[in-house]
Structure 1
Amino acid sequence: MSKGPLVTDGDLKAAASATAFAADAIERHMSSEMYRNAVTANEYYRQHNVTINRFVQKIYSCSGAEAEDFTASKLRLASNLFKRLNVQRCTYSLGKGVSFVDVSAGGKDTTKEGLGDRFDDDVMEMGLKALIHGVSFPFWNLDHIDVFTADEFCPVWDEYSGALYAGVRFWRLDSDHPWHATLYEQDGYTEMVSGGSGFDFEVAEAKRAYKVTYQEIPADGMKLAVDAENYSRLPIVAVWGSDAHQSTLVGMRESIDAYDLIKSGLVNDTRDCAQIYWLINGAGGMDDRDLDLWRAKLKLTHVAEVDAEQGQSVTPYTQEVPVEGRKETLAQIKADIYEDFGALDVHTIAAGATNDHIDAAYQPMDEEAAEFERHIREGIMDILALQGIEDTPVFTRTRISNTKEQVETVCLEAEWLDEETILRKLPNITPDERAKILERKQREQEERMAALPPALAANAKGAQEGDEDEEGDE
């Protein structure tokens, strides 16, 4: 009985060897809908419309036989809608980075400091790939995140819980180089390489732990592994882009194809109809060669000789392209794509709009962002759990607004708010900038206190402590 494309832990346990399992898993994954959608989505993201690239203009004879129309223009214009919409949704939630709830008293995000300098960029890649492919697989690699994608990673699912049990990452430079594969399991990973163009893998490096400590030998400078340790579970998690568990291209592809085909057809028709056709009266004695010579001379000299007495005449004729109808169709298709995706076309917001109007325009995007952020939040918390950290990520959405109106509102409320709350409400200050500003203000206050005479410093300190006691009593 043939196996389906879904690979489970039962297949891994029943496999004769790691190399045989990797070869079978990769072949099955390449036949799955997840892999095919991921490969196609990559093309659309790179602005390569697969459909219009394969489109061929045909003509039919009287008998019904079809043939390619070699005289028609073949311009193929691919839009960038797929990339624009996915980048917009991703940057809306993740463009300002990720902060965490557990912030120290000094305003420092201690959780984020332990995740490395490139954490925000890694999360951005994780979220974008989850949208494009439907799912991404971030791998916590000791001190940073490596993001695996559906077109290079075969997930192995637990048959009972449905959780990610293991996985095989596969890649090659090009068709002239061998395949490489890595089998990731809870107790370590195994490196493999193929001997040819297929998946006839051999073990290149035996299974080893994820966390290995090396010690350098002074005599020869070599490094010796002195300790090996694994995580409490598989250090790879599955992060979905939406509840649908599928690429955002599904359902959108047909609309993008229609948009690109109409736009390409409009340009090609404009080009084909731009030529001038000459209707010649009284040229019945001219054969095809004479007509070609006559037209070439007319294009060169722009002068035509006719005998009016013999009833000869030359009339130029051009075709009009139906533009308005197609423009309206393109505008409607584009508006439908934005509406179905829950995105915001900034051209629909009038200049000088109030924040109430802007918030109303962002409502569909906020609804989609809430679903997207929930999956990203779960993925980040799973990565934190690998390090024994319990914290909750917080996202600051990137949106256009009437900044002046927001700042004026915060200024009116400032006398009832503390400094940290004021900085958090200001729209032009990011969470990272807020922590640095609070740190600098604290340092400036300490420097001013140190510059005061001892008596004044004691009075100032006593006044501050008195204020704190009053707040405590209240």
Structure 2
Amino acid sequence: MNLDVAKKLISSYVTGHDDFILKSQVAERYYATKNDILKKKIDDEKDLENPLRVADNRVAFSFHNLLVNQKASYLFTYPPIFDTKDKNINSLIMDTLGDSYAKKCKDLCVNASNSGIAWLHYWVNDTGFNYAVVPSTQVIPIWSKKLDKKLLAVLRYYTDFDDESISWTIYEYWTDKECQTFRKRNGKEYTITKDLVDYNMFCDFIDGVAVNESNIYKHNLETVPFIPFANNNLQTSDLDNVKKLIDSYDKTYSGFVNDLEDIQQVIFVLTNYGGIREEGEKGIRKFLQDLKHYKTIPLDSAGTGDTSGLSTLTIEIPVEARKELLESTRKAIFSMGQGVDPQQQSFDNTSGEAMKFLYSLLELKAGLMETEFRLGFGELVRAICRYHGKDIKNIIQTWTRNAIRSESELVDICSKSKGIISNRTIIKNHPLVDDPEQEEKQIAKEQKEQQDIYNDEGDNGKGGDE
């Protein structure tokens, strides 16, 4: 792809990506509990002129963070396990995934929940097969127009600094055969159509010196080395269904706190109180002293129709109405957000089936994500096997939910299943087993040790009889 074609392609795709970035940034902001209530501006002149309205507390609640973390913990505390029916290949896959596999699963879940889709990039270098989670806002996919919606290419762009601390936007255009890189200096005066240039970020090293610099990198990965992980079938953010409810809860609670703070400020309304007009601040101090010590104050009479007197201005708080609104809004947040509200759950003497019902909405949401993520993990495992020169057909994925459950019931089910289903299936589903293959190896090892002990005892007994 020559530079002119690259300018047109990058310019058209980046422009259309702005809305996606803005929406993702809002979700990421709410995930960090930086809700809209924190940046609200006071622009109501009536509030500014109202002497009773002094407090300006803004309390942001982390409902979105809680809902996303619930799903991430529910799905990926125990990350998926892959079975190819070949123990050697299984071990090879787990070794390649490495210790960071569980964390990357969690990061994919959080990114997909916020942005609607997450991306994983893999590559091969001197250290072997590598993979990493890429921020969703950096990736622009180019899909085919066919029904299978095949990924034809990926445009990734991000900000970087050179040795002179100059800010540049780097563009990487990945296909199934190569990657081309370009860059543009950042600043309002610089544009893609005018200032985009080739960026030679690839090179070879001979005796520590960079040679053969180029902006084209050839790879043999056979596919575009980016894997999509959609949040659901619509690729929508988890924030979409609950944002307005969270904003309403923040405003209602913050307003309640402000009222409680403002109600402590009592404003005295004095009519024809002698001394205020002539003595000013001194007269106000005298009024407060008389009220404190004598519990009375002198008032001037203005004759017939006199309105002299003392009254106060206070705030009336509709406590019950706000309490009901907060409770109903909280219920709606967990209902629309498909989560488990810890405040409304009681697990005393709850059976396993009842516990499943408590997780029903979370399970629906998790199931939609699992369906999409299975495709992504299948592609990742196949990429790992291609790198190792292994040909696989079927991949069995085992997903384990992290939920409060009755383990005694599960153990009882496993015990009663012996002789009905295979020991391998029982081991996989036993609540005390994290790694089924390792457990099978340990069982075989212990059985062999017991057999060796039995054989030794038999030999010793025979020798003694003779």
Instruction: State the TM-score bracket (shorter-chain normalisation).
Output: 0.7 to 0.9
TM-aligned CA distance change 1:319 to 1:386, over 3 Å: same
Contact 1:135 1:149 in 2 (8 A): no
Alignment size in residue pairs: 429
Is 1:249–2:245 an aligned residue pair?
no
Match of 2:366 in 1: 369
TM-aligned CA distance change 1:58 to 1:343, over 3 Å: same
251, 256, 263: which one pairs with 1:273?
Answer: 263
Match of 2:220 in 1: 230
Match of 1:28 in 2: 16
| 1:97-176 equivalent positions in 2, closer than 5 A | 97-104=79-86, 109-142=91-124, 143-160=129-146, 162-172=149-159
38, 54, 58: which one pairs with 2:40?
Answer: 54
- Give 5+ residue unaligned stretches, structure 1: 1-12, 61-65, 458-474
Match of 1:92 in 2: 74
What is the rounded CA distance, in whole Å, between the counterparts of 2:243 and 2:329 in structure 1? 12
What is the rounded CA distance, in whole Å, between the counterparts of 2:72 and 2:454 in structure 1? 50
1:242-275 alpha-carbon deviations (Å, 9 max, x no partner): 1122222223211111111111111111111121
Shift of 1:49: 1.3
Is 1:443–2:439 an aligned residue pair?
no
353, 356, 362: which one pairs with 2:353?
Answer: 356
What is the rounded CA distance, in whole Å, between the counterparts of 1:296 and 1:86 in structure 2? 59
Amino acid aligned to 2:133: V
Amino acid aligned to 2:119: F
Match of 1:322 in 2: 318
What is the rounded CA distance, in whole Å, between the counterparts of 2:253 and 2:277 in structure 1? 39
Shift of 1:165: 1.8
Contact 1:342 1:365 in 2 (8 A): yes
What is the rounded CA distance, in whole Å, between the counterparts of 1:112 and 1:450 in structure 2? 32
Amino acid aligned to 1:131: S
What is the rounded CA distance, in whole Å, between the counterparts of 2:290 and 2:319 in structure 1? 31
Contact 1:156 1:165 in 2 (8 A): yes
| 1:266-415 equivalent positions in 2, closer than 5 A | 266-280=256-270, 282-283=272-273, 286-287=276-277, 290=280, 294=284, 298=288, 302-303=292-293, 306-307=296-297, 318-352=314-348, 353-387=350-384, 388=386, 389-390=392-393, 391-411=395-415
What is the rounded CA distance, in whole Å, between the counterparts of 1:234 and 1:201 in structure 2? 23
1:334-359 alpha-carbon deviations (Å, 9 max, x no partner): 11121122212133322321112111
Amino acid aligned to 2:440: L
Amino acid aligned to 1:384: V
What is the rounded CA distance, in whole Å, between the counterparts of 1:154 and 1:295 in structure 2? 68
Shift of 1:411: 4.7
| 1:39-78 equivalent positions in 2, closer than 5 A | 39-50=25-36, 53-56=39-42, 58-60=44-46, 71-78=53-60
Shift of 1:371: 1.3
1:261-303 alpha-carbon deviations (Å, 9 max, x no partner): 1111111111111212334454165239725862598499954
TM-aligned CA distance change 1:355 to 1:452, over 3 Å: closer
- SS class of match (2:265): coil
Shift of 1:55: 4.1
TM-aligned CA distance change 1:324 to 1:14, over 3 Å: farther
Contact 1:46 1:83 in 2 (8 A): yes
TM-aligned CA distance change 1:68 to 1:286, over 3 Å: closer
- Identity across the alignment (%): 18
Amino acid aligned to 1:36: L
TM-aligned CA distance change 1:310 to 1:244, over 3 Å: same
1:405-438 alpha-carbon deviations (Å, 9 max, x no partner): 44455455568776544443333432x2x43333
Contact 1:96 1:396 in 2 (8 A): yes
What is the rounded CA distance, in whole Å, between the counterparts of 1:300 and 1:178 in structure 2? 71
Amino acid aligned to 1:122: K
What is the rounded CA distance, in whole Å, between the counterparts of 1:188 and 1:195 in structure 2? 24
Per mean C-alpha deviation after superposition, the further-off stretch among 277-286 and 267-276 is: 277-286
Contact 1:19 1:192 in 2 (8 A): no
What is the rounded CA distance, in whole Å, between the counterparts of 1:299 and 1:233 in structure 2? 85
What is the rounded CA distance, in whole Å, between the counterparts of 1:230 and 1:341 in structure 2? 42
Shift of 1:145: 2.4
1:338-388 alpha-carbon deviations (Å, 9 max, x no partner): 112221213332232111211122222222222110000011112233344
Match of 1:464 in 2: none
What is the rounded CA distance, in whole Å, between the counterparts of 1:17 and 1:289 in structure 2? 82
- Give 5+ residue unaligned stretches, structure 2: 302-307, 387-391, 460-466
Amino acid aligned to 1:380: F
Match of 1:186 in 2: 176
What is the rounded CA distance, in whole Å, between the counterparts of 2:3 and 2:342 in structure 1? 54
